[in-house]
């Protein structure tokens, strides 16, 4: 997505509506939340909104760009490269009193997000939120299981103080409603099918990986961290090698588990984090994509891999449940069934024609999921909150603003 210095906030010639977007992660930080928010900001500017960005100052960053309000930032424990912002209540109160936005959208639930929510409500500015990350599910992976109840209550209280909470998929909407969240709306996510394209397949890159066209290249893209269930990737690849000894395992991403994985698996290829065209090239140059995480609210990498023409193996939830039809454009395993996941991966590894057919169908099945549609829904929810529209429960049990 590039450097934040490459994303100045452009003021339209005649701005109709002003959005203050509050987030504790932003490019060049590499994660699905930062990518999604940058897409939404771009989309709103294209729709003639003025976007003001409130975020933590990133390491080594100088003066703020026009339209950026920077808070002091500190590293998040266990998440090298990511920072949280301090609750700069006075700074936000001063900025929003002098340049009052029409609406505030708070995308993250950290100290900066809480401060923004408090200030917006105190000034009578409409405020919406979005739910991006299952922090309460992460607790068990960081030996914080005893805090799960506290985190759940914290998140529910936070989001219920906003006009509506935007969630990435219908399953998350239903879960949040069951947990006592109010006014949950479905936002969804998009995929850039121009960037992620099978045409970016690079045979020279495959040669660097030690693979020719007849060999199976298995790919994982994402953070290398405990909550990503990486043990299932390792088990699946071990099963694949039994059937396909020349198979190659490629890892794209960074994180705390990298230092453990690299010496234990010297024959695996660890490429580090990739973005933009380099990331798209790595996707398209593989054959089978493994995504074993069970803590996602969505999982942007699933439609990215599908758009790149890969046969995806994933658990049946979040983005995979939304986009994959088992046996037609990918392979699904029941949620939490590691044995079924490994079996599905192994069955693909020695069936080249099936892998190619699944990848071809996967590509065509996600081409309609453009970011423009997501930005249209985002704008609709923002305008509904500004207009103080009633919240209506739909027949599906989800709620939406009209």
pLDDT of residue 21: 97
Percent of the chain surpassing pLDDT 70: 86
pLDDT tens digits, one per residue of 7-21? 555 555 555 799 999
Q: Does the fold of domain 198-366 match that of domain 4-190+370-401?
A: yes
Q: pTM value?
A: 0.82
Q: CA-CA distance, 198 to 307, in Å (whole number)? A: 7
Q: CA–CA separation, 16 vs 49, rounded Å? A: 6
Chain segment 312-345, per-residue pLDDT in tens: 999 999 899 999 999 999 999 999 999 999 999 9
Higher pLDDT, 393 or 170: 170
- Please state, for a pLDDT cut of 90, what percent of the chain lies above it: 71
Backbone angles phi, psi at 63, to 5 degrees: -70, 150
- Mean pLDDT calculated for residue range 75-80: 61
Number of CB atoms found within 10 A of residue 256's CB:
14
Convert the pLDDT of each residue in 214-225 to its tens digit. Answer: 999 999 999 999
Of 46-50, 55-59, 118-122, the range with the lowest mean pLDDT is 55-59
- Nearest residue to 370 (alpha-carbon basis) of 189, 151, 173: 189
Inform me whether the pLDDT recorded for 1 exceeds 70: no
For residue 368, what pLDDT band results from cuts at 50, 70 and 90? confident
Residue 262: band (very low, low, confident or very high) from pLDDT cuts 50, 70, 90: very high
With beta carbons less than 8 A apart as the criterion, state whether 159 and 179 touch: no
Domain ranges of the chain: 4-190+370-401, 198-366
**pLDDT for res 76:** 66
Asked if the model's pLDDT at residue 390 lies above 50, the reply is: no
4-190+370-401: CATH topology: Rossmann fold (3.40.50)
For residue 389, the model assigns a pLDDT of 45
Residue 78, pLDDT > 70, answer: no
State the SS3 of the chain: CCCHHHCCCCCCCCCCEEEEEECCCCCCCCCHHHHHHHHHHHHHHHCCEEEEEEEECCCCCCCCCCCEEEECEEEECCEEEEEEECCCHHHHHHHHHHCCCCEEEECCCCHHHHHHHHHHHHCCCCEEEECCECHHHHHHHHCCHHHHHHHHHHHHHHHHCCCCEEECCHHHHHHHHHCCCCCEEECCCCCCCCCCCHHHCCHHHHHHCCCCCCCCEEEEECCCCHHHCHHHHHHHHHHHHHHCCCCEEEEECCCCCHHHHHHHCCCCEECCCCCHHHHHHHHHCCCEEEECCCCECCCCHHHHHHHCCCEEEEECCHHHHHHCCECCCEEEECCCCHHHHHHHHHHHHCCHHHHHHHHHHHHHHHCCCCHHHHHHHHHHHHHHHHCCCCEEECCCCCEEEC
Label residue 6 by pLDDT band (50, 70, 90).
Answer: very low
Instruction: Over range 248-262, report the average pLDDT.
Output: 96
**How much is the pLDDT for 219?**
98
For residue 5, pLDDT over 60 is answered with: no
At residue 172 the predicted structure's pLDDT band, cuts being 50, 70 and 90, is confident
For residue 347, the number of C-alpha atoms closer than 13 Å in the C-beta half-sphere is: 15
Is residue 77 scored above 70 in pLDDT?
A: no
**If 0-12 CB within 10 Å is exposed, 13-18 middle and 19+ buried, where does residue 197 land?**
middle
pLDDT at 30: 82
Q: Please say whether the structural domain 198-366 has been given the CATH code 3.40.50.2000.
A: yes
Strands 399-401 and 391-393: antiparallel
Place of tokens 């799960």: 148
Asked if 117 contacts 141 with a C-beta cutoff of 8 angstroms, the reply is no
Residues facing 50 on adjacent strands: 18
Among 32, 33, 83, CA closest to 57? 83
């Amino acid at each position: 997505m590039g450097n934040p210095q490459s994303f100045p906030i452009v003021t339209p010639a005649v701005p109709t509506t002003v959005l203050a977007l509050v987030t504790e992660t932003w490019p060049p930080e590499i994660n699905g939340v930062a990518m999604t928010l940058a897409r939404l900001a771009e989309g709103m500017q294209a729709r003639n909104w003025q976007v003001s960005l409130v975020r933590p100052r990133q390491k080594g960053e100088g003066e703020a760009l026009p339209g950026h309000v920077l808070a002091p930032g500190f590293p998040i424990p266990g998440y090298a490269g990511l920072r949280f912002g301090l609750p700069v209540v006075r700074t936000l109160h001063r900025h929003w009193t002098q340049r009052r936005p029409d609406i505030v959208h708070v995308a993250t639930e950290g100290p900066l997000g809480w401060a923004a929510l408090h200030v917006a409500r105190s000034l009578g500015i409409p405020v919406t939120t979005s739910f991006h990350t299952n922090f309460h599910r992460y607790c068990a992976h960081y030996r914080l299981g005893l805090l799960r109840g506290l985190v759940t209550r914290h998140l529910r209280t936070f989001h219920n103080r906003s006009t509506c909470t935007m969630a990435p998929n219908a399953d998350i909407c239903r879960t949040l409603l069951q947990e006592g969240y109010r006014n949950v709306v479905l936002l969804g996510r998009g995929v850039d099918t121009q960037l992620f394209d099978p045409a970016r397949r690079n045979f020279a890159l495959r040669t660097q990986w030690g693979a020719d066209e007849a060999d199976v290249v298995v790919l994982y893209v994402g953070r290398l961290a405990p909550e990503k269930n990486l043990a299932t990737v390792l088990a699946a690849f071990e099963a694949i090698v039994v059937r396909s000894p020349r198979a190659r395992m490629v890892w794209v991403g960074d994180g705390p588990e990298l230092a453990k994985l690299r010496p234990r698996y010297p024959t695996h290829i660890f490429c580090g984090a990739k973005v933009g065209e380099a990331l798209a090239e790595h996707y398209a140059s593989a054959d089978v994509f493994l995504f074993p995480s069970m803590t996602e609210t969505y999982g942007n990498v699933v439609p990215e891999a599908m758009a790149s023409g890969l046969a995806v193996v994933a658990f049946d939830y979040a983005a995979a449940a939304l986009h994959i039809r088992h046996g037609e454009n990918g392979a699904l395993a029941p949620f939490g069934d590691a044995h079924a996941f490994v079996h599905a991966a192994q069955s693909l590894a020695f069936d080249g024609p099936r892998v190619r057919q699944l990848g071809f169908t996967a590509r065509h099945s996600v081409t309609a999921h453009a970011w423009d549609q997501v930005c249209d829904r985002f704008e609709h929810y923002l305008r509904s909150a500004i207009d103080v529209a009633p919240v209506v429960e739909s027949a599906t049990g989800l709620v939406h603003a009209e």
